[in-house]
Amino acid sequence: MISRRIEDFIQTDLKKKMVFLSGPRQCGKTTLAKDLLKVFPSGQYYNWDIGRDRKLILKNEFNLDSQVWILDEIHKFRKWRNFLKGLYDEHSENHSILVTGSARLNLYGRGGDSLQGRYFAHHLHPLTLSEVLKTKFSNLDSVIQFPHEVKIEAVETLEHLLIHGGFPEPFLEKSLSEVKRWQLLYSERLIEEELRSLEQVREIEQIELLLDRLDDIAGSIISLNSLREDLDVSFDSVRKWLIIFEKIYACFRISPFGPPRIKAVKKEQKLYLWDWARVKSDGARFENLIAVHLLRLIDYARDVYGEKCELRYFRHRDGSEVDFLLLRNHKPWMAIEVKLEEQELSRSLRYLAERVEIPHIFQIYLKGKHEKTLAKIGNTPIRSISAPRFLLQLP
C-alpha cells in the first residue's frame, strides 16, 4: 500500500479541530480515513451513502465510546453544515471529527450557517511521483533545490503514471484493458452517483457528451462558445455544467497571469482533467500530469503551511504561451514550460522572463538526457531539467 504524505498532518489537526478532507472520488480518501482509525484508541466510520449509517447520523446516534468519528459523503445531506456545527459544538471536547467527500466541500454550503474557525481543510490528490517513491519533502523552498538523485525507478514510475494515471486502483493495475474499464466505470459513476446526488439537472445525455469532449481539449484554452456549438446547447448550460464538473472533481481550470505591460490575455482559461490518463494526445497528457502535480503543491502549501499560492499560465495576445506560472504570496515565484522532448529555450519563456521578475524558471522535458542552463536573464538562470528530477521535489 502507498502511504499518503498528508496523513500525519491530518492526525495532528484532528486533535485541534474538525478536519475536512476532499478530493476526487476513488483517490484514496476512505482508505486514508480508515488507516487513521488505527492510530487512535477507538473510532467509528459512518458513510452517508449506506442506509444504516445514514439513519444513525440523522438520529444523532453516534458511538460515544469512540474517540474519532469519520463522516464520509455527508455533504450530500442538504443541511450538513448546520448539522456539523451543532455536532462539533456539542462533542468537540471528547471526540475528533473527520469529514470526507468527493466534492469540493467549501462549495456545497447549503446549510447557510458558517463553520468558520471550526475546521482545517485538507485535499487528497491522485498519486504523485514523489509520493509513490516516498521521497522526502522538507518545505516549499526545497522545491527548487533538487537534492534527489534520479534513478531508473523514477523514470519507469513516471512512464507508468503517465499511462495509467494517478488514481490508486488503475495505477496498481498492470493491464491497460483493466485501466480502460476503470475509466469507463469511473465516468459513469461520476455522473450517476456524484452529479445526480448533488445537482438538479435533466440533460444527462448532453452532460455525458460534454464530459467525453473534455478528453480532447484538456490543456487547451477553453471556448464555451465552441463547446456550445458542438453540443447544440445554450452558452449558460455549458458554463453551468463545467462549474459542476469542477465541484465534483472531474476537471479544473487555471486563469491567465499578466500585467498590461506584457500584453497578456486576461480572461481565457485553460482546462485540465484530474485523471490525466484520459487525455488522448501525448503532449497534452504530459502537460496535464504536470498541472495536477503543481496543483498538489498549491494545495499542500495552503493546507500544511498556510501559504497563499496560485497556479496560473501566461498567454500573449499573439498566441504564444508559457504553460505554468506559480504565484507565492501574490508574486511570481516559478515559471514552467513543458516539452515532450528536450529543446532549445522557448521564445515565450524568454519573453516572459525579460519582462517579469521570476526567481525560478524551468523548461521541463520528458525525453532527453542533457540538463543544462539554457540562458540567464538578469540574475535568473533558465534551466532545462528532466521531468523526473523536477517532480521528485514536489510533495
The pLDDT profile of the chain, 395 residues, written as one tens digit per residue, is 788 999 999 999 999 999 999 999 999 999 999 998 888 878 999 999 999 999 999 999 999 999 999 999 998 898 898 899 999 999 999 999 999 988 777 654 444 457 888 999 999 999 999 999 999 888 888 888 887 788 999 999 999 999 999 999 999 998 899 999 999 999 988 888 778 766 677 788 889 999 999 999 999 999 999 999 999 999 999 999 999 999 999 999 999 997 656 666 778 899 999 999 999 999 999 999 999 999 999 999 999 999 999 999 998 877 789 999 999 999 999 999 999 999 999 999 999 999 899 999 999 999 988 899 999 999 899 999 999 999 999 99
Nine-digit cell at 61?
A: 446516534
Q: How far is CA 96 from CA 4, 40, 47, 67, 106, in A?
A: 20, 10, 16, 6, 20
By the 10 Å C-beta count (0-12 exposed, 13-18 middle, 19+ buried), 138 is classed as exposed
Compute the distance between CA of residue 393 and CA of residue 147 in angstroms, rounded to an integer: 8
User: Residue 111's pLDDT is what?
Assistant: 43
Residue with cell 486533535: 15
Structural domains of the chain sorted by starting position, each given as residue range(s) with its CATH number in brackets: 7-123 (3.40.50.300), 129-392 (no CATH)
Alpha-carbon distances, residue 306 vs 158, 301, 332 (angstroms): 29, 6, 18
User: Cell for 377?
Assistant: 536573464
Q: Tell me, what's the pLDDT at 27?
A: 95
Going by C-alpha positions, the residue among 147, 174, 131, 157 that lies closest to residue 27 is 131
Instruction: Return the pLDDT at 138.
Output: 84
pLDDT of residue 263: 64
What pLDDT does residue 139 have? Answer: 87
The rounded distance, in Å, linking the Cα atoms of 111 and 109 is 6
Instruction: Count Cβ atoms below 10 Å from residue 273 Cβ, excluding itself.
Output: 26
Strands 331-341 and 321-328 come out as antiparallel
Question: Assign residue 146 a region: left if phi > 0, alpha if psi is -120 to 50, beta otherwise?
Answer: left
